[in-house]
A and B are shown apart, each in its own frame.
Chain A
Amino acid sequence: GAVVSQHPSWVICKSGTSVKIECRSLDFQATTMFWYRQFPKQSLMLMATSNEGSKATYEQGVEKDKFLINHASLTLSTLTVTSAHPEDSSFYICSAHRGRTEAFFGQGTRLTVV
């Protein structure tokens, strides 16, 4: 299957700092990538759609100024959690579609804010 690489796999940061997470499609081009958040024992909740060369589309209730998304190339999208707080601690995971529907996920990033 296609490969989507996410980095870092885990990160611990202090409250008030920012964290950047990268999502790369390694063997195909992705004009659209998706960012999800997953709390323990819960489902994946879509946060935003990352569009190459244009602004991201955020789901209702997701603060665009807090979760900055940049999709500067066809193979890279980044999610920056700004001014992180303990409640932002979660598992963040990206996906990219090959074709219209088949989605491939990054390995996820476990963010812990202390």
Chain B
Amino acid sequence: GENVEQHPSTLSVQEGDSAVIKCTYSDSASNYFPWYKQELGKRPQLIIDIRSNVGEKKDQRIAVTLNKTAKHFSLHITETQPEDSAVYFCAAPGPGTASKLTFGTGTRLQVTL
């Protein structure tokens, strides 16, 4: 099965600075890599995803990069704002028709004023 590792576990940045969260995965057949944001007591929300046929994807202040050779992908948040404070999870699917997701251990991002 898939094994996903995520670093760092906690990250504190000042408002306006950038934040980077990194994940590695083990299954070279994985081809879809989503990132989820989870606020306390709420459901995870998909914020961006990338498929293995591209190396980078951007959506406003959020970007994801993928290095298939090294089997790692990263979330980049620029110009961070207090509302970006949350727990972020990366994930990678296993094989199958409806692939179950294996989640990273999560990164608690704190954006300070």
Q: Do A and B bind each other?
A: yes
List chain A positions with a Cβ less than 8 A from chain B.
Answer: 1, 31-32, 34, 41-46, 49, 91, 93, 95, 97, 100-108, 110
Q: Are A43 and B97 in contact (CB-based, < 8 A)?
A: no
Choose among A46, A106, A108 the residue that contacts B100 (Cβ–Cβ < 8 A). Answer: A46
Choose among B32, B46, B100, B108 the residue that contacts A1 (Cβ–Cβ < 8 A). Answer: B46
Within 8 A of A (CB), among B44-99: 44-46, 49, 89, 91, 93, 97-99
Name the distance in Å between B16's Cβ and chain A's nearest Cβ.
27
Give the number of A-B contacts (CB < 8 Å).
56
Residue among B34, B44, B98 facing the most chain A CB atoms (10 A cut-off): B98
List chain B positions with a Cβ less than 8 A from chain A.
Answer: 32, 34, 41-46, 49, 89, 91, 93, 97-106, 108
User: Which residues of B sit under 8 angstroms from A41, Cβ to Cβ?
Assistant: 108
Q: Is the interface of A mostly helix, strand, loop or mixed?
A: strand
Q: Are B46 and A46 in contact (CB-based, < 8 A)?
A: no
Name the distance in Å between B29's Cβ and chain A's nearest Cβ.
13
Residue among B32, B44, B93 facing the most chain A CB atoms (10 A cut-off): B44
Q: Which residue of the partner chain B has the closest CB to A34?
A: B100
Question: Would you list the 6 A-B pairs with minimal beta carbon distance, nearest first?
Answer: A32-B98, A101-B32, A105-B43, A44-B103, A43-B103, A43-B105
CA distance A41 to B41 in the complex (A): 10
Q: Are B101 and A103 in contact (CB-based, < 8 A)?
A: yes
Q: Are B106 and A49 in contact (CB-based, < 8 A)?
A: no
Choose among B34, B42, B106 the residue that contacts A103 (Cβ–Cβ < 8 A). Answer: B34
Q: Are A102 and B46 in contact (CB-based, < 8 A)?
A: yes
CA distance A25 to B77 in the complex (A): 31
